[in-house]
Structure 1
Amino acid sequence: MKRSRFVQRHMRRLHTDLGRRALNFDPGEHDVHRPESGWHVDDYRQPLPSEPPGPPVPGGPWETARDLVRDYQYADPAIIREILHSGPPEPGRDMLLEARFYGLRFYLGLRIGDVVDGVVEDDGRRARVYGWNYRTLEGHLERGQMDQEVRKWLDTGEVEFHVHAFSQGSSDPNPVVRLGFAVFGRYMQEKFYRRACRRMEALTLSALAARGTAAGPMAAGADAAGTASIRRRSTGRVDGP
């Protein structure tokens, strides 16, 4: 969608202002992988076309998915659209997103936390991983962190897209911000995660087909029709006493 010069200037001002905003939660006070009173922990894994075991194949599924994750292409623009950023994911860089809920629009500020690009060991298995996370800034509808990564298991060649989120509604004093999450938040969160997984699968397959790269079978979890199913683990919210 083409925006007027006035709107473009407004977006640039909003993005510039992000540098003066602090995170609206302290990552050091939480283990984002463990349930905690008042917080949601969501974990979605989308199998992608596999490769032969060993390092990623040039131009193959892992590299294709890596580029999509790096460029934030998996987000459904009908729900979340990136407006402005400062370049590729690097710790400390800011992003401005536009969230669309039933005709309403909210502008959300984020700051990139960690970037991982290398081989990691997980439960005795080695995987080639590319990923990054972002954290919410003051004025956001939510508080928390979302990690997104693409992983190739070197022993089997399985490739998967992984989204992990630790979040709760914002404590912002602005009642409109709090109401926005209370009304739309949890439903739209889960919708975003599901669509991100499906979109990641579709974009990876489309890119491989466009360059004439043969896609391997989906990782374990594919249904009878051959479409990979999302593996979801969500603890939901843990309520306090």
Structure 2
Amino acid sequence: MGVARLGWWMFGRLDTERAWRELADARVNYSLAEVRRPAWNLDVHRGGLPAEPPGPPEPGGTWDRACALVRDYEFSPPEIVRALYDPGAPLLGRDLLLQARFHGLHFYCGVRITEVVDEVRRGGDRVWGWSYETLEGHLERGKVTYEVVKHAASGRVEFVATSYSQAAPTLGPVTALGWRLFGRRTQLRFYRRCGQRLRHLVLAGQHSAPAVSGRLVLAPSDAVAHRWDALALHRVAPG
């Protein structure tokens, strides 16, 4: 059984913990065999981070700090996407309830971490990260992989987001129109802001614990409620 379809909520408190619990029954909403151009967007976004000396990552250096921030979803720009998740759950298989924010509209969509990357690649490059895939009810269909890469030969460190995606074909007419007008532009801005934000946090040495909401945490840790959020329209599983 997939995630429940709930209607719009306005001027009321949304039970986000309930919406997160229902993700356990949701399935990934696409198959890899469907992914091909031109119907799908295939993207690679790279953001430079402060370099280290050549060789393996330095303890407590850029690579270590960036990995910790990526693990906790601190790199996400809170004005665009926030996440609720259970920090006690293993990273692999963890469900995240994402809140996508579009001009007074808040969409709650589920993703699941289906891969963890922890390896040394050719040339000694050290890579750590993870991937999530979209679940039933999401605005989109697809997969995103977030990686922190230390290039051993040069000392260069970068944040890489690799994705394939398309709008969910089950979107209602109004939501589909909004996605055609703003979705792709917002998606590209999100990836750009992720790289900028991660670099800022690494340079500043900032890494606060995400805020606790019941058994869940809200990430990133500086995601705060705005007074206008009470007037926003909310929808769970819009896809």
TM-score, normalised via structure 1 length: 0.75
Aligned CA distance change for structure 1 residues 137 and 192 (closer, same or farther; 3 Å): same
Distance apart, 1:89 and its partner CA: 6.2
Kept in 2, the 8 Å contact 1:163–1:193? The answer is yes
For 1:44, the equivalent position in structure 2 comes to 45
Partners of 1:179 and 1:85 in 2: CA distance: 33
- Quote the Cα distance in structure 2 between the aligned partners of 1:7 and 1:84: 18
* Shift of residue 185, structure 1, vs aligned partner: 0.9
Q: 1:1-241 alignment to 2 at 5 Å?
A: 7=13, 10-27=15-32, 29=33, 36-85=37-86, 87=88, 90-121=91-122, 125-172=123-170, 174-207=172-205
Aligned-partner residue type, residue 101 of structure 1: F
Tell me the CA shift for residue 204 of structure 1. Answer: 0.7
Tell me: CA distance 1:30–1:128, structure 2 relative to 1, closer, same or farther (3 Å): farther
> Structure 1: which 5+ residue stretches go unaligned?
1-5, 209-241
Aligned partners of 1:155 and 1:37: how far apart in 2? 36
Report the secondary structure of 2:52's partner residue: coil
What SS does the aligned partner of 1:67 have? helix
What is the percent sequence identity of the aligned residues?
Answer: 44
Quote the Cα distance in structure 2 between the aligned partners of 1:142 and 1:120.
31
Q: Which amino acid aligns with 1:43?
A: V
Which letter does structure 1 place at the counterpart of 2:164? F
Q: How big is the shift at 1:85?
A: 3.8
Match of 1:216 in 2: none
Q: From the superposition, tell whether residues 180 and 40 of structure 1 become closer, same or farther in structure 2 (CA, over 3 Å).
A: same
User: Is the CA contact (8 Å cut-off) linking 1:80 and 1:97 kept in structure 2?
Assistant: yes
- For 1:92 and 1:59, the matched residues in 2 are separated by 27
Shift of 1:172: 1.7
Between the aligned partners of 2:175 and 2:22, the Cα distance in structure 1 is 18
Q: Secondary structure at the match of 2:205?
A: helix
> Would the alpha carbon gap of residues 113 and 44 (structure 1) be closer, same or farther in structure 2, given more than 3 Å must change?
same
Moved more, 173-182 or 141-150: 173-182
RMSD, aligned α-carbons? 2.0
Per the normalisation by structure 2, the TM-score is 0.76
Structure 2 unmatched runs, 5+: 1-11, 207-239
SS in 2 for 1:163: strand
Number of equivalent positions: 195
Kept in 1: contact 2:56–2:124 (CA 8 A)? no
